[in-house]
Every structure is written in C-alpha cells, then in structure tokens.
Amino acid sequence: MGTDSIAEAKLRSITDRFADTRIMVVGDIMLDEYMWGDITRISPEAPVPVVAVDEITHRLGGASNVVQNLSSLGITPVLVSVIGEDANGKQLRAMLAENNCVNDSLCLSKSRPTSVKTRIVARQQQVVRADRESCDDLNENELRDVTDAFKKAVGNVQGVIISDYGKGVVCPAFLETVIKTCRKKGLFVAVDPKERHFDLYKGVTVITPNLHEAYTALGIPLVKRPTDDEIKEMGFQLVDKLDLSFLLLTLSERGMALFEGETSRFTHLPTVARKVFDVTGAGDTVISAYTAAAVCGATPFEAAFIANHAAGITVAELGTASVEVEPLIRTCLE
C-alpha cells in the first residue's frame, strides 16, 4: 500500500496554479432535482409511500457536476455539451454561469430534451428517482454543432475531461474527433468511462473506472472482493489494452489504485473517508481533482493522492458535492 504523502509547500505550488488554468469538460450534462419531504402515509392507490414535499432544490449533475468541482477548486471550466431548448436547459445554463463556467460551447438542440433526474427524498433517504432524458446518439446537426464548438474552444485549455454518462453526447464520431485532436495537441485527456465505449478510449492519458467497469472492459467476470494482486494484474491488462499512460481505478471503501503505464508502478491508496454518507458524484470529484492536479504540476501519485482526499470529503455529504482548495489541503495534511 502507498504510504507516501505530499509536503504542504508542494501542495500549495500545485493548487496556486489552479486560478490560471482552464480545463475543458466534454460530456453529458444534466439537472439534478431533489424533492424533500416526509413520508406521511401509504398510498391507497398502490403499496407505495406518499411523500409530502416541502422543498424542491436543484444541483448540477452529470458532466456539469465536473464543472462545479473544477470551479470549486478555482479552475476555469470550459463546457462542450448539448442541452434542450427548454426551461430546464435555461436553468442549467444559469447555474453553470454561477459556477464561472465558460458557456460559449454549450449547444442547443431542437429535438433533444435537457436531461433531468428527479430524486424524492424523505428524511435523508432517497425513495425513488425519475429520469427525463434522451439516450440516443447525437443526430447529424447536433454532431456538427458540438464538433465545431469543440474545435473552436480546444486551443485555449490546458486539459480535457471526457465525462461519459452514456446519454448520447459522447458518441463514437464525436469521441474520435476529441481524442485525435487532443493527441495532436499533446493535451492531457482524462475519461470518466461508460462501459459500452471502452474500446473507443484508446490512447487517452487516464481513465477512472470502478471495479465493475474495469472488469467489464476486459470481458471477464467481476471478482467480488479481489486481492491486491488480482487488482494489479487486471489493471495492467487494461492499461495495455487501451494504451493508457495511467489508470486510476476506484475501489469504493478500499480507496483507489494507480497504475503507471511507462514505469509499471502500482500504488494502492486506502480510503481516507471518515464516513460514507452518499457516493453520488464521487467519481466526478475524483476525475476533476486528478486532472486539475495533473495539469498543474503534480506527479501521477500526487494527483491520485489529492483526488483520493477530495473523494473522502465528497462522500460525507448527501447528494453531489464539491471541494474547495483550503479544506482539501487541510485534509491532505492530516
């Protein structure tokens, strides 16, 4: 297991560069809607609870939660995505603007609705979730618009995060353009993957799958509780298969594992979370913190160390959450 740490001076040398850094986020954005209340009775219509809603709140979800995480760290996020010409899209755009997000590359679709996930929560317990969205790949017009937007914006960023939620924006044709362009420019490219697209991520800098996703990518059955040796063997198979510089494998309560392709170094970083209240959005925090650190001078281990501590903060909150620099530095130094 990795027992290294990072000196405060190095941490601050990394985080001090955040304010001058722009990172592009490409992917599926969505509006997270929460209906809060109490269960008052069982419905006479069906054996389901009736929740008396007394508050409705909205948060940035999907790739837009990556935007929020970057913004919270002081990074300037540049978003390339597609939303619908609807009220939810207008609300999402306004919320993104509040998070210092460059919205010039946010494309509007006449046929695709803005993705909305509605969660009904009673006394801190999620009762049900309702999704309103399209998961179809981009149509010809949408693909043209988002490709043009990407090409115009990519010349002014230091790194790219592909946040693939499988909702159609990160379709094969667009993904191929993004990866080829970034490789030609020598840009750092991180991917939060979706299982059905694994073969298309070949040649990116780093991907951040969980165990289930990694085993699926290799086409082998998931081992319920693999040993460190089994994880190590599986991880390097994935590095080789996708020609990755790095693999950051998230291991839930066991923390995460970093695989370095060129040196064949394997580091297990145990979880630093004191309590786990909600893992919603934790993957967004990991990829945001790792990419921010990596493009601002961190070594692969240092970036993983920072990402691991950022995730430890996030999972202690209900719903999607983001991390600010000073609490992150304090946590890293504890």
Q: What digits encode the pLDDT tens for the residues 23-59?
A: 999 999 999 999 999 999 999 999 999 999 999 999 9
Instruction: Check residue 283 and give its pLDDT.
Output: 84
- 318 vs 52, more confident: 52
Q: What digits encode the pLDDT tens for the residues 73-107?
A: 999 999 999 999 999 999 999 999 998 898 889 99
Mean pLDDT for all residues in the chain: 91
**What single-letter amino acid sits at 177?**
T
Q: What digits encode the pLDDT tens for the residues 245-289?
A: 999 999 888 889 999 998 999 999 988 765 544 445 578 899 999
- 5 vs 321, more confident: 5
For residue 231, give the nearest of 266, 262, 261 by alpha carbon.
Answer: 266
Instruction: Show which residues are catalytic.
Output: 284
Instruction: Check residue 111 and give its pLDDT.
Output: 93
Query: Of 158-162, 191-195, 273-277, which has the strongest mean pLDDT?
Result: 158-162
Q: Which domains are seen in the chain, by residue range? A: 8-30+61-107+155-333 (3.40.1190.20)
For residue 182, give the nearest of 80, 87, 267 by alpha carbon.
Answer: 80
Segment among 70-79, 118-127, 147-156, 320-329 with least mean pLDDT: 320-329
Segment among 41-50, 114-123, 316-325 with least mean pLDDT: 316-325
